[in-house]
Amino acid sequence: MARSRQRAVVTGGAGFVGSHLCRHLLDTGTAVLALDNFATSAPDNIAALLDRPGFEFVRHDVTEPFPEIGCADIVFHLASAASPPDYLRLPLETLRAGSLGTANALELAERHRARFVLASTSEVYGDPGVHPQPESYWGHVNPVGPRSVYDEAKRYAEALTMAYRRERGANTAIARIFNTYGPRMRADDGRMVPTFIAQALSGAPLTVAGTGEQTRSLCYVEDTVRGLHALANSGHPGPVNIGNPHELSVRALAEEVRAAIGSRSALEYIDGPVDDPQRRCPDITLARRELDWQPRIDRTEGLRRTIDWFAGRTLPPAHTLSP
């Protein structure tokens, strides 16, 4: 009997982006099975989803073979440490999630003849020599630096995805996600938006890494998950950049957060991380043309929603960051 409702598997479904993706899929009529081992997240993120019809959760490490999961139309593979402190703390786990985890998720998609969507990253461009970065740019990555555990895991995951597509005819897509922010980031995950917000809310100095002149382009999480869903629903193989092309310096972001909160915290300049990309901005021509997608939430609105969310919570003691 034909099923009336699509069903998606979301690995890393309890994470920051994954939990928003699960909610978005449920809101738009897709049933969801989320899998996660809570390596870098907590059950809180999905607590509000557990009672929703069509939502299921299984605790599972994607580097192990998948359990019997029932049917699947789409497999979104997000499971991986993603923030620099997390992947530097979990280097081998990060490489395993990108390699073994991606292979297991591809096998699962193939078994169910499901569409496979890889959550790759702008980090595949490394410290880019081309600006803004189109998908055709091959990147500038240090393969043996400390960040390589993440960058190269994702580059391998992209290569594996393309090999399944070419060799086995798998229905695959690659999304290159740029810096995403929003509610449910961990205040202590080391990424710049939650770090600046937590510092400004607690009156601590805002720690700007390096000169602060390095740039980032920030996409609100609702826009990112809409982009991932649009890619899943298209026939496009990617890679497709999913990000917000409004670029700003890290120092300017710190000042914006401080002004939005009305904080008098000082900016404190600290050493930048090794191999920190100096410029980061997506060229989203392809996503606009092929997915009819572009970000809708501007930074003022996105920061307001994120600050409101953090302001309603008990924050850990102030700490520093590595954006």
Q: Which of 30, 63, 161, 207 binds ligand NAD (CB under 6 A)?
A: 63
Interaction between residue 101 and ligand NAD (CB under 6 A): yes
Interaction between residue 12 and ligand NAD (CB under 6 A): yes
Which residue in this structure is represented by tokens 């798998």? 170
Interaction between residue 244 and ligand NAD (CB under 6 A): no
Q: Which of 180, 214, 263, 306 binds ligand NAD (CB under 6 A)?
A: 180
Residue with Cβ nearer ligand NAD (228 or 307): 228
Q: Which residues are catalytic?
A: 150
Q: Which of 9, 74, 106, 177 binds ligand NAD (CB under 6 A)?
A: 177
Q: Which of 33, 75, 79, 231 binds ligand NAD (CB under 6 A)?
A: 79
Angle at 79 between CA 77 and CA 81, to 5 degrees: 140
Interaction between residue 104 and ligand NAD (CB under 6 A): no
Q: Which of 8, 36, 125, 127 binds ligand NAD (CB under 6 A)?
A: 36
Interaction between residue 228 and ligand NAD (CB under 6 A): no
Least distance between ligand NAD and beta carbon 208 (Å): 19
Interaction between residue 18 and ligand NAD (CB under 6 A): yes
Interaction between residue 157 and ligand NAD (CB under 6 A): no
Least distance between ligand NAD and beta carbon 4 (Å): 29
Give the dihedral of Cα atoms 28, 120, 156, 6; nearest 10 deg. 0
CB under 6 A: which stretch of 33-41, 199-207, 268-276, 301-309 binds ligand NAD? 33-41
Kindly calculate the radius of gyration of the chain based on its CA atoms and give it in whole angstroms. 19
Binding region for ligand NAD (CB under 6 A) = 12, 14-18, 36-41, 61-63, 78-82, 86, 97, 101, 119, 121, 177, 179-180
